[in-house]
């Protein structure tokens, strides 16, 4: 490989910076790795950082980690061969590069390129699809391996950085980052799907971790949330290990879209009264044209949970009736919402406004309920004078009945166990005197 041919000097990302500014590496295998999560209020998107490298979009729907490898901010310090290496077309790594998510299924190939060699142009090199779920767009890029570093954690504090060797990721250009489609400073997309090259499976293999990841999304831009890879306690200040409080529901798989995570919502209730909806919509089924539809998919880029139109109508109507019945007055709606109330007529509690409870009744033994309280069900608008039901109808091209948005996940703890195929959750930490920003990021070393 002749990297002297590459433009803009060096494309290096994910580099291990000099050890004078970061803690030294640990040799014993840590149980968990940690990536801090930030919320960007202007885009309502979340980003994460892996060790000292630039932020990436938090994207549970994406099937790999990709970067804008031509961005000049990757030019220093330089990552050079031997650690930065192309992945050859017929290699085992390339065979792991298949992608099948809601945006694209397939796309792996072998690149040929007439332009000068670069991270996005390299003959006989493995190519695959990359996507940005925030703008529902995908393109293709070239697969490379490199080392990078990531924080360890004992579950209470941050520990030293460890190196992840030969991590496979994709180099693209900035096509999927244009038009302010991501928070400023974000230079790629961190895929957390079930795909083999997505972070959970690759990190588990490279660092001998359990195939588990857990995240807690902050509700504002002031503090950092957490993404853990591996199994460990998850202790928030002052001293709460929330892994003891998880409830579990199966993580479902759609064979037509195997990278994505689904859960089984069986019914929805408002103040314990079940909505009258067509529960057939809640099942994953064939769409008759070789694809699938229905069911409940989890998103980390959709802000407000989207419901198929008839389900949305039933929820909005019952929520309004129940809210009005307790003296919460309806007011003119504020777009894009259509069910809004005078905030001064609702009382405030630790878990948000005291509005009717929305329960998702989930698959799981004994009946598993995800209760959505005020902090996750109504959004405050017009300087706090108005609150609106924080759900929306699905977009026209959406085939799923429910897309779980991040407003409903903020200050909740969600643990994805890929080995046992189950989702552990605490639907809100607020009632337990914590928020997702309560992790103690002080280094213990
Ligand atoms: C790739 O191969 C083609 C055809 O052999 C050649 O014209 C081109 O210069 C090569 N590109 C690079 C970047 O090596
Ligand atoms: C960016 O905006 C331009 C002009 O509206 C549009 O043509 C292009 O598709 C957008 N790019 C992305 C990646 O969304
Ligand atoms: C955070 O962790 C550090 C290191 O263990 C500890 O000294 C400090 O007291 C902790 N801070 C809080 C607020 O618990």
Give me the chain's average pLDDT, please: 91
Using one digit for the tens of pLDDT, what is the confidence trace for 173-194? 999 999 889 999 999 999 999 9
d(CA 6, CA 2): 8
Query: How much is the pLDDT for 20?
Result: 35
Mark out the alpha helices in 171-271 (DSSP H runs): 199-207
d(CA 195, CA 256): 13
The tokens describing 387, both together, are 């609150």
Query: How much is the pLDDT for 107?
Result: 81
330-331, strands of its sheet edge to edge: 330-331, 340-342, 386-389, 378-381
108 Cα to the center of ligand 3, angstroms: 47
d(CA 215, CA 240): 16
Provide mean pLDDT across the span 350-379: 97
Query: How much is the pLDDT for 40?
Result: 98
In contact, 211 and 202? CB cutoff 8 Å: no
In contact, 225 and 216? CB cutoff 8 Å: yes
The verdict on the CB of residue 60 being under 6 Å from ligand 2 is: no
The verdict on the CB of residue 396 being under 6 Å from ligand 1 is: no
- Cβ neighbours for 263, distance < 8 A, ≥ 6 positions apart: 249, 250, 251, 252, 296, 298, 362, 363, 404, 423
Report which of residues 445 and 328 the model is more confident about. Answer: 328
Q: Is the pLDDT of residue 214 over 80?
A: yes
Query: Please, is 308 exposed, middle or buried when counting C-beta atoms within 10 Å of its C-beta (0-12, 13-18, 19+)?
Result: buried
Provide mean pLDDT across the span 257-271: 98
Radius of gyration of the chain (CA): 22
d(CA 228, CA 217): 12
Provide mean pLDDT across the span 218-243: 95
Matching residue, tokens 């605490």: 426
Using one digit for the tens of pLDDT, what is the confidence trace for 379-437? 999 999 999 999 999 999 999 999 999 999 999 999 999 999 999 999 999 999 999 99
d(CA 305, CA 302): 7
d(CA 378, CA 296): 20
The verdict on the CB of residue 113 being under 6 Å from ligand 1 is: yes
Residues in the chain: 445
177 Cα to the center of ligand 2, angstroms: 10
377 Cα to the center of ligand 3, angstroms: 33
Residue 117 is given by DSSP the state: P
Report which of residues 205 and 107 the model is more confident about. Answer: 205
In contact, 350 and 313? CB cutoff 8 Å: no
Query: How much is the pLDDT for 83?
Result: 85
Contact residues of ligand 3, CB 6 A cut-off: 157, 237, 440, 442, 444
d(CA 264, CA 409): 16
Using one digit for the tens of pLDDT, what is the confidence trace for 56-104? 999 999 999 999 998 887 754 444 667 899 999 999 999 999 999 999 9
């Amino acid at each position: 490989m002749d990297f002297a041919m590459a433009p803009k000097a060096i494309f290096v990302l994910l580099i291990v910076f000099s050890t004078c500014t970061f803690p030294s590496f640990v040799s014993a295998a840590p149980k968990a790795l940690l990536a801090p999560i930030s919320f960007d209020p202007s885009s309502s998107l979340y980003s994460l950082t892996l060790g000292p490298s630039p932020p990436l979009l938090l994207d549970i729907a994406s099937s790999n980690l990709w970067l804008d490898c031509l961005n000049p901010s990757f030019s220093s310090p330089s990552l050079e061969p031997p650690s930065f290496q192309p992945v050859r077309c017929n290699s085992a790594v390339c065979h792991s590069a298949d992608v099948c998510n809601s945006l694209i299924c397939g796309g792996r190939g072998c690149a040929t390129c007439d332009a000068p060699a670069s991270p996005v142009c390299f003959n006989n090199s493995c190519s695959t699809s990359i996507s940005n779920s925030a703008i529902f767009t995908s393109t293709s890029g070239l697969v490379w391996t490199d080392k990078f570093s990531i924080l360890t954690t004992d579950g209470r504090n941050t520990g030293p950085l460890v190196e992840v060797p030969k991590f496979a990721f994709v180099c693209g250009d900035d096509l999927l980052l244009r038009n302010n489609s991501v928070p400023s400073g974000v230079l790629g997309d961190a895929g957390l799907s079930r795909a083999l090259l997505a972070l959970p499976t690759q990190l588990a293999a490279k660092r001998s971790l359990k195939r588990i990841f857990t995240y807690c999304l902050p509700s504002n831009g002031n503090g950092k949330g957490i993404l853990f890879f591996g199994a460990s306690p998850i202790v928030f200040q002052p001293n709460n290990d929330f892994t003891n409080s998880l409830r579990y529901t199966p993580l479902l798989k759609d064979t037509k879209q195997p990278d994505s995570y689904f859960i089984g919502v069986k019914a929805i209730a408002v103040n314990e009264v079940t909505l009258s909806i067509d529960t057939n919509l809640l099942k994953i089924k064939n769409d008759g044209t070789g694809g699938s539809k229905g069911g409940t998919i989890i998103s980390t880029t959709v802000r407000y949970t989207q419901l198929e139109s008839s389900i949305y109508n039933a929820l909005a109507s019952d929520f309004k009736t129940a809210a009005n019945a307790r003296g919460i007055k309806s007011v003119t709606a504020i777009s894009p919402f259509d069910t809004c109330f005078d905030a001064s007529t609702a009382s405030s509690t630790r878990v948000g406004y005291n509005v009717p409870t929305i329960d998702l009744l989930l698959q799981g033994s004994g009946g598993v309920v995800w209760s959505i309280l005020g902090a996750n069900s109504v959004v405050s608008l017009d300087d706090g004078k108005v609150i609106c039901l924080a759900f929306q109808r699905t977009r026209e091209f959406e085939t799923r009945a429910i897309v779980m948005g991040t407003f409903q996940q903020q200050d909740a703890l969600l643990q994805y166990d890929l080995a046992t195929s189950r989702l552990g959750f605490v639907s809100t930490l607020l009632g337990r005197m914590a928020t997702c920003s309560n992790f103690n990021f002080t280094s213990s070393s």
